[in-house]
Amino acid sequence: MERRLIVGVVGNAACWYDSCDAGDRKKWDLAYDLGKTLIDNGFRVLTGGGRGVMRAVMAGAHASKKYREGDTIAIAPSYDENDTNDFADIVIPTGLQEYRDGIVANCPVVVAIGGGSGTLNEISLAWKHCRLLIAYTNVEGWSATIAGVPLDDNHRYDFKEDKVWPVSNALEVVNIISKWEKKYNKVLGGLEIGKANFVPKKKSNWVGPKITTKINKL
């Protein structure tokens, strides 16, 4: 059985669509389009299961013609499985509150859309975990602040291109994943005194998505 790649999406959780200002509504629309495009191209979507960007990307996933039950996964902060949005298919209640950020950030790919301090925590953890990290540049928040550069001077990989990859739309996200995901091949192993121990990732049976030629209009 082919295992589909899970893409974690992080970002602002401040509002429902009907009550958003123009800036947050743009984030909602971008997230919705991202969710739809990710499912169109054979991925699954994982979030913290809340409102805002998290709900939007899952709503977009459900709108894809290729959507299948189980395509949206929520890592809930509480022990209550109902403490998530209505588009979450699979809910994993952790009871970890904000510490569940480390689970979200451990997806093979993490995409940030805007975001405040909670999103910054997830971004930092994804970088520390040597994950492929992608950030939207055309919205306010931490994603635009850190896009296009390495998050610190830590030499994560041998290839010089390693950075927080900047994007402005969903198709760019899919193209970066298809080109670079297999090069991001480290996972956090056991801990040694004073430093993290990264080991090569086991070979994946993910063969890559069938890329659509354009983003489907909403």
158-208 pLDDT, tens per residue? Answer: 999 999 999 999 999 999 999 999 999 987 765 554 556 666 666 655 555
Answer with the residue of higher pLDDT: 69 or 186.
69
**φ and ψ at 126, to 5 degrees?**
-60, -40
Residues 52, 59: Cα–Cα separation, whole Å = 11
Residue keyed to tokens 């994946």: 204
8-26 pLDDT, tens per residue? Answer: 999 998 766 666 677 788 9
For the chain, the distance separating the N- and C-terminal CA atoms, rounded to the nearest angstrom, is 31
DSSP state of 19: G
pLDDT tops 60 at residue 210: no
In this structure, the strands spanning 90-93 and 132-136 are unpaired
What's the length of the chain?
A: 218
pTM assigned to the model: 0.85
Identify the CATH number of the domain defined by range 6-200: 3.40.50.450
Cβ(144)–Cβ(123) below 8 Å: no
Token pair in block for residue 99: 């510490």
For 14-40, letters b (16+ CB in 10 Å) and e give bbeeeebeeebebbbbbbbbbbbbbbb
Token pair in block for residue 198: 């990264």
Residues 6, 206: Cα–Cα separation, whole Å = 10
